[in-house]
Amino acid sequence: MWDWSFALEILPVLAHAAIISIEATLIGFVLAATLGLVLALARIAFPWTAWPISVLVELIRSTPLLIQIFFLYFVFPSFGVSLDAFTAGVLALGIHYAAYCSEVYRSGFDNIHRGQWEACTALNLSSWTTFRDIIIPQAIPPIVPALGNYLVALFKETPLLSAIAVLELMQTAKIIGSETFRYTEPITLVGVFFLAMSLVSASLIRAVERMLNRRPAR
């Protein structure tokens, strides 16, 4: 049923593929966090964008990521830009999670007391300085745990990239399975890897949360 020597034999191959998964996660999350912040800031800076952005966010959040991955992968060539599978996949992950992150940022900004904005106006700070020095330093720390949860969620979505043949963990496991007709070890190992990673990151997020809560209120 379970062959330890086979499991050990495929472990290095899977470990190599895990690096691709982690790479996709990190690049995708940087994209999501940045794009999400831009979306959230645009809603505040230009009120007329609030409605289109909320429709866009709703549209992205209520359609499957898999479809979005396919869409980006297949639609770019028809505009003459050909993206390789990894770039298209990471782009889709980033855009999908940017929609979620923008809502997180928005909740962070909404929690800033009105008086802070008014004080900035009274001090004649430019809107750029207001954001950089007053609003963002107060808005970001409380939402770090929520962003962390999305980082873990994004990581768990990376197996979807196997659908466009990115050689990440799941795709590698499937290839091993189809070459050797042994699916038990590769797919179970992938599952164990994800379980271990998400348990570790969940406890990391809890630690960060505790650290942020311990900090005295300013």
Partner 1 sequence: MGIRTLIVMLVASLLVIAVLATLPAYSLFLPQLLEGAVLTAEITLLGALLAVVMGVLAALGKLYGPPPVRWLANIYIEIFRGTSALVQLFWLFFVLPQFGVSLEAFTVAVLALGLNIGAYGAECARGAITSVARGQWEAATALNMTRGQMLRRIILPQAFIAMIPPWGNLFIELLKSTALVSLITLSDLAFKAQQMNQTTMKTIPIFTLVLLIYLAMSLVITIGMRFLEGRASRGLARGRTV
Residue ranges binding partner 1 (CB under 8 A): 1, 54-55, 58-59, 61-67, 70-71, 74-75, 78, 156-160, 162-163, 170, 173-174, 177, 182-184, 187-188, 190-191, 194-195, 198-199
Closer residue to partner 1 in complex, CB, 132/156: 156
Closer residue to partner 1 in complex, CB, 66/140: 66
16-21: long-range contacts (C-beta < 8 A, 24 or more apart)?
16/172, 17/167, 17/168, 17/169, 17/171, 17/172, 17/173, 18/169, 18/193, 20/86, 20/166, 20/167, 20/168, 20/169, 21/155, 21/158, 21/159, 21/168, 21/169
Sign of CA dihedral 84, 93, 154, 186: negative
* Smallest distance from partner 1 to CB 106, Å: 13
* Smallest distance from partner 1 to CB 157, Å: 7
Closer residue to partner 1 in complex, CB, 102/131: 102
Give the span between the Cα atoms of 110 and 103, in whole angstroms. Answer: 10
Closer residue to partner 1 in complex, CB, 55/119: 55
Judge whether 86 and 166 are in contact, CB under 8 Å.
yes
* Smallest distance from partner 1 to CB 131, Å: 26
Phi-psi region at 181: left, alpha or beta (left = phi > 0; alpha = psi -120 to 50):
left
* Smallest distance from partner 1 to CB 32, Å: 17
Closer residue to partner 1 in complex, CB, 135/164: 164
* Smallest distance from partner 1 to CB 180, Å: 12
Judge whether 100 and 194 are in contact, CB under 8 Å.
no
